[in-house]
Amino acid sequence: MRGKDEARATRQKEPGPPRVPSSSADMPKLTFKTRNHRLDRDPPQDICELALKGFIDAANYMTFEKALESADSESPRFLLVDFARVNYINSTGISAIIRFNEACKSREGLLCLSGVSRAVGLSMHLLGVTSLIPFTRDMQAGRNHIAGFIDGKKPALPVNEAAAADGDGPARPTAVLQRGTLSAGARSHVLVLAPSATRFTRVIERRLGDLKGEYHLLSDAGEALRRFDEISPDLVVLDERCDPSGGFVNKVKAQKKMSLTSVIKIYPEKEAVGRERDFKIWENDYLVDPFEMGEFFALTEAELLRVPRDREVFSQQLRFDFRARAGGVDKAYKLSDLVIRQAMEDEDDITSLYAAVKEGIDNAVVHGNRRNEELRVEVNFLVDNTKVTVLVEDRGKGFDWEYYLDRLDREDAFEEAKKRIVEEGMRGGLGILLMSRCVDRIHYAGFGNILRLEKNISARR
């Protein structure tokens, strides 16, 4: 039985986990400030400066988007972003930088990044950002570079302001990071599932060839599943027309040995994405045609970097959501049972975790969404070598979860709950207590509409 100190430690308010649980769930929040810096020119030129602090991950992405929109609100020609206190950026954040860089270029201006650490800069470099946007050592160097650009002395290229100057001329632009081949590309296997070979598939093949990866093109989802072990793909680029029912994604993501393969789905039109099913297992990401090839390669190459790292730590990742109708709840139960049985061998562990997950799903449907069949419940599984983590999220308004979790420490927690049931005629009332007894850690986030369960995996016998 857990000690009280450990139990309390699991009940601290969290900043809100990302859609797909990851190690970034406990990262700090992202904060930002904007200010204008005026250059003494005729006419005067303003630089909008954006200072960031924290992590740009899934949980904080909307804050990052808000920060960029705030800086871009008056359509400045020049945007200087201070990355000195940014410790992490994901591929979605990098794509936002690329988008806002294009906005500055459309105004004949410039976006410049300052103080980017090597750890953060490496991810950007591997996605090709260092060939698009200037990087400088600090904010003053960034101001100097923008001033030189205005005066026509410096090109809009990545620079290192510490580089030696040629005589009295401007500093020679050099890449901040040494360019190299995408390290994961040399061992990456990519499966493209499309109706036929097109210019798009040939571009992918050429790009992957440059990275010394393996490329496979198939048109039949059934054949792709039969040859899955043979191809052993790190990434699947899936044309939605080859999998309109979602059967391919369902089978890949539900099976432990396949689930860590990244699946990026290409939808022919926006309406296809919004065509919600009563039950859906999600791909890792998607794009809607038409899209920019730069956006596509930024996304796919980020996934090729991520997948090998995830395979070192995790054994399965799965995200699905459903409506509480047309058997959606039963499908959620069955899929949860499958994932748990693939992760655990001890029958007691399987039984207890399944009971907790089932209770969490029921609470989301009944109490969170108040049985509204139009509202969806989302479930995420993340399995590593030591534990199974499950997130259940409803669309309700939440509840005073701290009150209920605090009562779990009391020795008479069950007797008190039983008393309320008997004397007050209350229906239920044991759900949170049951879940806490079935798992090793229980958390709530948001307003109480996000439940997080963690169950340790017993040592193999």
| Sheet containing 235-239, strands listed edge to edge, beginning at the edge strand earlier in sequence | 214-218, 189-193, 235-239, 262-267, 285-288
- What SS3 string covers the chain? CCCHHHHHHCCCCCCCCCCCCCHHHHCCCCEEEEEEEEECCCCCEEEEEEEEEEEECCCCHHHHHHHHHHHCCCCCCEEEEEEEEEEEECHHHHHHHHHHHHHHHHCCCEEEEECCCHHHHHHHHHCCHHHCCCEECCHHHHHHHHHHHHCCCCCCCCCCCCCCECCCCCECCCCCCCCCCCHHHHHCEEEEECCCCCHHHHHHHHHHHHCCCEEEEECCHHHHHHCHHHHCCCEEEEEHHHCCCCHHHHHHHHCCCCCCCEEEEEECCHHHHCCCCCEEECCCEEEECCCCHHHHHHHHHHHHHHHHHHHHHEEEEEEEEEECCCCHHHHHHHHHHHHHHHHCCCHHHHHHHHHHHHHHHHHHHHHHCCCCCCCEEEEEEEEECCEEEEEEECCCCCCCHHHHHHHCCCCCHHHHHHHHHHHHCCCCCCHHHHHHHHCCEEEEECCCCEEEEEEECCCCC
- Which residues make up the CATH 3.30.565.10 domain(s) of the chain? 324-456
| Mean pLDDT in residue range 208-229 | 90
Residue-wise pLDDT tens digits, 361-419: 999 998 899 999 999 999 999 999 999 999 999 998 888 777 777 777 666 655 665 55
| Sheet containing 376-384, strands listed edge to edge, beginning at the edge strand earlier in sequence | 279-281, 314-323, 376-384, 387-393, 450-456, 441-445
Task: Tell me the pairing of strands 450-456 and 376-384.
Answer: unpaired
pLDDT of residue 414: 59
- Which residues make up the CATH 3.40.50.2300 domain(s) of the chain? 183-312
pLDDT of residue 170: 31
Choose the weakest-confidence range: 289-293, 353-357, 450-454. Answer: 289-293
| Mean pLDDT in residue range 340-368 | 93
| Distance from C-alpha of 227 to C-alpha of 233, rounded to nearest angstrom | 10
Compute the Cα dihedral for 305, 310, 316, 322 and give only its sign.
negative
Mean of pLDDT over the chain: 80
Residue-wise pLDDT tens digits, 28-60: 589 999 999 998 888 889 999 999 998 887 677
| Mean pLDDT in residue range 286-294 | 85
**Cβ of 67: how many Cβ atoms within 10 Å?**
22
Q: Do residues 380 and 318 touch, judged by C-beta distance below 8 A?
A: yes
CA atoms within 13 A on the CB side of 58: 13
User: Quick one: which of 203, 176, 199, 196 has its CA closest to 300?
Assistant: 203
Which residues have C-beta within 8 Å of that of residue 388, sequence separation ≥ 6? 339, 340, 343, 344, 353, 381, 382, 454, 455, 457
| Distance from C-alpha of 308 to C-alpha of 320, rounded to nearest angstrom | 23
pLDDT of residue 326: 67
Distance from chain centroid for Cα 176: 27
Domain spanning 23-150 has what CATH number?
3.30.750.24
So what's the architecture of 324-456 in CATH? 2-Layer Sandwich (3.30)
Q: Do residues 372 and 322 touch, judged by C-beta distance below 8 A?
A: no
For the cut 80, the answer to whether the pLDDT of residue 12 exceeds it is no
User: Quick one: which of 172, 12, 161, 174 has its CA closest to 80?
Assistant: 161
| Distance from C-alpha of 194 to C-alpha of 238, rounded to nearest angstrom | 7
For the cut 50, the answer to whether the pLDDT of residue 181 exceeds it is no
Class of domain 183-312: alpha beta
For the cut 90, the answer to whether the pLDDT of residue 316 exceeds it is yes
| Distance from C-alpha of 370 to C-alpha of 367, rounded to nearest angstrom | 5
pLDDT of residue 298: 84
> What are the structure tokens assigned to 363, written together?
């609470």
Q: Is 403 exposed, middle or buried (0-12, 13-18, 19+ CB in 10 A)?
A: exposed
**Amino acid identity for residue 305 in this structure:** L
pLDDT of residue 28: 54
Distance from chain centroid for Cα 22: 8
For the cut 90, the answer to whether the pLDDT of residue 3 exceeds it is no
pLDDT of residue 349: 92
| Mean pLDDT in residue range 169-182 | 33
| Distance from C-alpha of 277 to C-alpha of 112, rounded to nearest angstrom | 43
